[in-house]
């Protein structure tokens, strides 16, 4: 019997993550991540740190896009398109959860 591989991510989206750590957790090189910045798919946080910092909310969609890139042998430009779509989906899901929580409290 095979046990399914499950990955849990406990992440505070208000935190920041450095380029090196983002590269490690997303399976993309620092050069690829810098290209995503050049394409406008990633926006670093302006800071006085020597290493680029990013909002931690990019980790989940970037990991998903990175997995799809590997699974389907996609080019980096396609990852840009995936990141845009996955980020929009994530934002909409967060809004739905917020609305459901609000409506749930009204009807209780």
Q: Which domains does the chain have, with CATH numbers?
A: 16-107 (1.10.1660.10)
| pLDDT at site 92 | 92
What is the percent of the chain where pLDDT is above 90?
A: 57
What is the percent of the chain where pLDDT is above 70?
A: 84
| pLDDT at site 108 | 52
- pLDDT confidence tier of residue 11, bands split at 50, 70 and 90: low
55's CB contacts (< 8 A; 6+ apart) are 13, 16, 17, 43, 45
| pLDDT at site 6 | 46
pLDDT, averaged across the chain:
85
| pLDDT at site 106 | 60
* Mean pLDDT, rounded, for 45-63: 89
With a cut of 60, say whether residue 4 has pLDDT above it: no
Q: What DSSP element (H or E) covers 25? A: helix 19-26
Residue linked to tokens 């991510």: 9
Contact between residue 85 and residue 63 where contact means Cβ atoms under 8 Å apart: no
Q: What's the rounded Cα separation, in Å, for the pair 47 and 53?
A: 7
């Amino acid at each position: 019997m095979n046990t399914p591989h499950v990955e849990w991510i406990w992440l505070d989206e208000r935190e920041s993550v450095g380029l090196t750590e983002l590269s490690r957790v997303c399976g993309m090189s620092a050069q690829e991540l810098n290209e995503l910045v050049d394409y406008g798919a990633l926006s670093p946080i302006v800071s006085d740190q020597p290493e680029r910092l990013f909002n931690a909310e990019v980790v989940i969609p970037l990991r998903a896009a990175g997995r799809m890139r590997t699974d389907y042998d996609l080019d980096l430009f396609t990852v840009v398109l995936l990141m845009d779509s996955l980020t929009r989906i994530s934002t909409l899901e967060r809004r739905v959860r917020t609305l459901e929580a609000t409506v749930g409290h009204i009807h209780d």
